[in-house]
Amino acid sequence: MLRAFDARTCRATYREIAEVMFGASRVASDAWKTSPLRDATIRLARDGLAMVNGGYRDLLRRRRRR
């Protein structure tokens, strides 16, 4: 998540991020607009932003309760 967030902060496209994270050949094998890798990359970037904006605290709270 944080890698995807960092890449978006540096203005990388979702496709560029996916190529690094999943491999260029896997990204090229599907139509990008309907690719599950596209959806996963967007989700990773979105969730990374949520973590940076304080979502990591929820993880810490859950861990302490156990």
Query: What residues contact residue 15 under an 8 Å CB cut-off, 6+ apart?
Result: 27, 32, 38, 41
The predicted model gives 19-31 an average pLDDT of 95
47 CA to centre of own chain: 7
Token output for 14: 């979702």
Contact between 45 and 8 under an 8 Å Cβ cutoff? The reply is yes
In this prediction the pTM is 0.82
What residues make up the domain containing 39? 2-65
Q: pLDDT tens digits, residue range 30-57?
A: 899 999 999 999 999 999 999 999 888 8
Strands (E), the chain: none
Output Rg (C-alpha) for the chain, integer angstroms.
14
Please tell me the total count of domains within the chain: 1
Contact between 8 and 47 under an 8 Å Cβ cutoff? The reply is no
